[in-house]
Amino acid sequence: MWQVLLYITGCLVVMLGLLVVVKGWQYRQGFGWCTSQASMEGKVVLITGASAGLGKETALDLARRGARVIMACRNLQKATKVLEEIREATGNNLVEVQLLDTSSMASVRKFANNFLKNEKRLDVLILNAGIIGPSKLTFTDEDNEITIATNHLGHFLLTNILLDLMKKSSPSRIVVVASLAHAFDEGFDIDNLNMKKNPYPGSLKTYSYSKLCNVLFTKQLTRYLEGTGISCNALCPGVVGTEIFFKGSWNILWLFYGAVSKFSKTPLEGAQTIIHVAVSEEAETKGEFYDNCKVTDSSPLSNDLVLARKLWEKSEYLVDLKPEERHY
């Protein structure tokens, strides 16, 4: 009997493997690619989380286009090695690394204020840094849930502080790296961004909430930026096999990475939509959501403008936004 069960199990495993391969092949056929040849000479680009994966590939591409690229990263040792690779590959010595941890509002303020002292313009702000948080509820030193802080609150504060400089540099762009995971929004509670009211929903659910925050932030910011010459768009880079899976909880690593790696985009492929929204004339839009270098629909909840405004107000409270940091 056990031989029959073993045979059936083996057949099911083979069939599942073939299904993953076929679905992976189908998924890869739909990849979008940035075809713009736009030069970025004379432009200043700031990319958060640029020491690996999507951020690294985006920095490399924009450096090739001649931009001055500031890689804002948490791990300076790792980022410096990437910086050397990019300079060697592109011959662009205008690329540099600066310390920024988006989970820390103190770090964001220090970085942003130094940036304003040293830079005369900012043409493209790419909000890319992100994590899939730990399996247990974790708070930062400022008492913010770490995934929401890293993926949303830090970027919210950074953008607000830099907005005046971006207005002076207009036309300029803000590129928000979100995810289709924002659509997994069941249970989202604007008054529970720190996950203290109810049992912790887990790292995946919290990640999806943070990505919904990214899209809602894009929608509300677009309303505030009307007439300024600044465009703000969100995007999904796709399913990308990056180290974000290794930084999450064990279930992310073991249950998802093995399957994802069979049909996911490479970091270079995943970065294409980021690059497209940052440089392409076709992406001179406002408040849109991009996937595979094309405008697509985001979830119904992400288009709730009342919710977007409430999130903005809640975010202002959580980051303790100062009057001098408001530029909208």
Quick one: average pLDDT of 281-287? 93
Quick one: average pLDDT of 262-285? 90
Looking at the structure, give the CATH architecture of the domain made up of residues 33-320: 3-Layer(aba) Sandwich (3.40)
What is the structure's pLDDT at 59? Answer: 98
Q: Output the CA–CA distances (angstroms, integers) from residue 163 to 53, 172, 215, in the order listed.
A: 27, 10, 18
pLDDT tens sequence across 185-200:
888 999 999 998 888 9
Mean pLDDT (the chain) is 88
Which residues contact residue 1 at a Cβ distance below 8 angstroms, ignoring those fewer than 6 apart? none
Element (H, E) at 117: helix 105-118
Stronger pLDDT, 174 or 254, i.e. the higher one:
174
Read off the tokens for 113.
């204020």
- The residues carrying an active-site annotation are 207
Q: Most confidently modeled of 129-143, 184-198, 212-226?
A: 212-226
Stronger pLDDT, 197 or 219, i.e. the higher one:
219
Read off the pLDDT band of 326 (50, 70, 90).
Answer: very high
What is the structure's pLDDT at 265? Answer: 83
What is the structure's pLDDT at 22? Answer: 42
Element (H, E) at 51: none
What is the structure's pLDDT at 24? Answer: 47
Q: What is the pTM of this model?
A: 0.88
pLDDT tens sequence across 229-272:
999 999 999 887 655 544 555 454 445 555 555 567 888 999 99
What is the structure's pLDDT at 7? Answer: 46
Stronger pLDDT, 162 or 18, i.e. the higher one:
162
Sheet holding 96-99, edge to edge: 96-99, 68-73, 44-48, 124-127, 172-177, 230-236, 289-291, 294-296
Inform me whether the pLDDT recorded for 211 exceeds 80. Answer: yes
Name which of 234, 220, 226 is nearest 310 in CA terms: 220
Inform me whether the pLDDT recorded for 279 exceeds 80. Answer: yes
Determine the residue type at 289. Answer: F
What is the structure's pLDDT at 261? Answer: 55
